[in-house]
Each structure stands twice: as structure tokens, then as C-alpha cells.
Structure 1
């Protein structure tokens, strides 16, 4: 079920989802950018993977921005909050190292993938443009999840510590974005 959205006059559910997902992609760019900065010292072998993640997330953000422009919609009011939160999360997990970075990606992508699949179900038949865009992005988000999950020790320290905090925070930001 899609989180109840407070829609502005003339705004569709698809419009709101595009706005919230655009803000979320901005947050992801900020997370990976800061993790990459610290990975130079903490996990240099992750640099190529983080570069790929950043490129994907920038591409996703650009796709959502283009869709918002096509719909003549402004970005979500949570855009800057997502950027700030992503920067702080990227700094803290980047400092902590490879396990923390991987656990963060797994937690966020798990929540994001679930939301995107729910969004597709809710918009199927009413907003084919949004459905097509979400379907294009899901494969790369799944790749981020799977690559990071392969780096984690099942039930390890970072997963137990970071997963619930990051998952709840991601849910909260989505909830807030759907209401702003």
C-alpha cells in the first residue's frame, strides 16, 4: 500500500511519487559521494564500486528531474533534507569503514526497492510514464543492494547496528516527503 499522500491542487499521486523519489536519489548521491571521500583511506578497493553507484544515482536523479520538468512540477520540499541527511549518513558510515558502508546500502536499497515496487503497483494503469521510469531504475538499485549484501557478514555488527536505524530513517523520510 502506498503511504497516504497529501496532494497539492492539480497534483497526481504519480507527480508526488516522482518528487519524493527525486529527493531520495539526491540523498543517495550525497551518501555515496561522502562514503567515497572516506573510502580513499578506509576502503580504497571500494572506490570503483562507489563511483559506479554515484553514476547510477546521478542518472536516476536526472531522470526524475526530467520527468518533473515534463510534468511542470517543482522538486519535493524534502529535497534539501534528503541531501543533508545523506551527507551526514555518508560521513558517519564512511568514517566507520567498509562494513558500515555496505550495511547502509543494503538497508536503504531494501526499503527503496519495496517502495518502488509498491509505487509501480499503485500507478499501473493510471500513470504509464511513472511506471516505465521506476522499472528502468529498479535493476540498478537491486544491483547496489546485492553487491553490498555480498560484502556483509550475516548477522554481523554493522548490519545489526545500522540496518534498523537506516531503514526506519529511510521510511520516515519517504513518509515525510509524501506529506510535504
Structure 2
């Protein structure tokens, strides 16, 4: 049980840092979208509010466990802001492609985490399960903006997915 709760705590730390990164992606995109995709600002703010709630869920569970935040927390914040601002400058389809790419990786990791922790760390499973629907909504809604927008998906997806995977990998080892 100790080993599994340790794994659960590590996963929760990384997820908490990832939510901070997502909040900062949306912060950067909101700034840029004011110039390039005004019609998306309200949607981006709504998605950011979901990510803030997710971060609070993970932080609450980490505090209950007496765990500090992940060492990669501020790396996620800075990287997320730079990613959000830079992709946001290219407009609606680039913003949507970024969200789809990030959420594709996040959903894959969350599903894997649930498999790893099921019947081993119930509190971590509950925390992760609480955010899945929102993350799927972000992915699916953003994907709906991409019809006819294959250029940004082809260009950004590999870079954004690899960056997201790298940040998760670093976080699990920090």
C-alpha cells in the first residue's frame, strides 16, 4: 500500500503542476486572442476556470497527504504561458490545435493513471476521475474548431504533444 500511495502522490503532484501549466497556456492564449481571435476569449476563460478547479482538486489531495507541489510546477507555468502566447498569436485554429494536442496527451495519461491506481489508491482515483469530463470537453470542443484546419494540427500537434510528454516525464522524475 505504501508504494502505491507513493505512486499516487507522485502522479497527483505531476497532475497539479500540469494544471498550473494549462492555466498558463490559457492565460497566454487569452492575451493573444484579444488580438487574433476575439470570439474565443470567453471560451478560453471558461476552460481556464475548469483548469483552476482541477488544480484545486489536486492541491487539496496533496495537502491532505502532506505533500508539497512538484518541483516542475514553475517550469509548467512558464512553458505553458510561452506556448499559449506563441500559439495564440496565430489565431483560432492554432489555439484549437494546441488544446487538442495537449488534451490528447493528458487524456491518455489520465486513463493510464486510473488503470495504475485502481484498487490501490482510491483518493487519487477520485481526484483524477473528477477532471476527466472537463478535459474531454476541452479536447472535443476544440477539435470542432479545426474542420478545414489541418495545417495547424499537422504543424503543432507533434511539437505540442512531444513537449507535453516531456514535461510529464520530467515531473515524474523530479
Does residue 158 of structure 1 match 2:152?
yes
1:157-176 alignment to 2 at 5 Å? 157-176=151-170
Equivalence for 1:147: 141
Distance 2:4 2:12 in 1: 15
- 1:30 is paired with a residue of what secondary structure? helix
Give runs of ≥4 in structure 1 deviating > 6 Å: none
- Pick one of 65, 78, 86 that aligns with 1:84: 78
Q: Shift of residue 105 of structure 1?
A: 0.2
CA RMSD of aligned residues (A): 1.4
1:30 paired to 2:19: no
> 2:124 is matched with which residue?
130
Return 5+ residue gaps in structure 1 as ranges: 1-8
Residues 48-107 of structure 1: CA deviation (Å, up to 9, x unaligned): 111110100001011111111000000001101000100100110111111110000000
Aligned length: 172
Q: Which has the higher helix share?
A: 2
One of 46, 53, 74 as aligned partner of 2:68: 74
Does residue 1:56 correspond to 2:81, yes or no? no
* Distance in 2 separating the partners of 1:127 and 1:163: 32
For 2:165 and 2:127, the matched residues in 1 are separated by 21
Alignment of 1:14-25 (within 5 A): 14-25=8-19
Give the TM-score of the pair, scaled to structure 2: 0.95
User: Shift of the alpha carbon at 1:155?
Assistant: 6.3
TM-score (norm 1): 0.92
Secondary structure of 2:106's counterpart equals helix
